[in-house]
Amino acid sequence: MSTKYAALLMSLIAVGPLSAFAQSVTYSGTALNGPPVSYSYAYSGDAQFVAGTPDVAQLYTADLSTADTADSPAVFVKLSPAITLDSLIASYVLAPGSTVDPYWILYMTDDTGYTTPIVGTDSTGEPLDSSSLVHTGNLINGSITLSALDADTDPISGLPYGGETVKYVGLEIGDGGSGAGTANIESITIGSSVPDGASTLLLLGFGLAGLGVLSLRKNRLSAAK
C-alpha cells in the first residue's frame, strides 16, 4: 500500500466511533389509530386515538394513584420485526393539554403472560436509551440503567436481557400520584441502534472500499499510459 493510501486509511480510523447508526419509525397523525398501535385501559375513554390538530394518542385517568379503583392507561407499539433490548431506542412528543408525563413500559417476547414489564422510571419527557433508569419485577434494590440491565439475567428465560427481543414498547400513566392526569402523545418514535463498535467497523469497511476504488482507478490510469 502506498504512503498516500496508508495515510488515508489512518485518517479514516482516526475518526473513531460514530454516534450509533440508527433506523427508526415515527408513528403520528392517523398512524396512531390502528395496528401496530394499540391501547390498554380499564375504563372506556381512558386510552384512545383523538383526531384533531394535532391527532394524538390520549391517555387519561381520573385517579393517578395505585388504588384498585384507579386506571393505568397505556398506548403500545407492537414491534415487527423484533428489536433486541440492547439496541432499542425510543422517544415521544407531547402535545398541548398534557398534565402529566408518561413513563416507558416494555414487554419482552418471552414474557407471554405479561407479568414482568420493564418500566422506565426517569422517562419524564426523556427518550429511552442506554442511560435511562429502569426497573423490572425481579429487581428489588431500586432502578438501574438500561445498559446495566442488558447484562442482567432475565428470570423467565435465564438469558441476559440485552440479547432478547422486545415485543411491545408502550407509554403509560398512573400507578403513582393523585388526582386526574392526561397525556396527549403527538408522536412515538421507535428505533434500533447499531453499537458504536459496529459503527467503527462499518466506517472502516467504507474506508477500505474507498481505497479499493482509488487503487483500481490508479491501475487503470497506469495501463492506459
Written in H, E and C, the secondary structure of 7-48 is HHHHHHHHCCCCCCCEEEEEEEHHHHCCCCEEEECCCCCCEE
Q: What sign for the dihedral angle of Cα 201, 206, 207, 211?
A: positive
Strand partners, 78: 168
User: How far apart (Å, rounded) are the C-alpha atoms in residues 13 and 16?
Assistant: 6
User: How far apart (Å, rounded) are the C-alpha atoms in residues 91 and 193?
Assistant: 13
Q: What is the CA radius of gyration of the chain?
A: 23
pLDDT at 17 (0 to 100): 35
SS3 96: coil
pLDDT by residue, tens only, the chain of 225 residues? 444 333 333 332 333 333 344 689 999 999 999 999 999 999 999 999 999 999 999 999 999 998 988 999 999 999 998 899 999 999 999 999 999 999 999 999 999 999 999 998 765 667 999 999 999 877 766 789 999 999 999 999 999 999 999 999 999 999 888 899 999 999 999 999 865 444 444 444 444 444 444 344 444 445 555
pTM, entire model: 0.77
Q: What sign for the dihedral angle of Cα 145, 146, 147, 151?
A: positive
User: How far apart (Å, rounded) are the C-alpha atoms in residues 220 and 225?
Assistant: 9
Strand partners, 103: 172
SS3 151: helix
Hey, what domains does the chain have and what are their CATH numbers?
A: 24-192 (2.60.120)
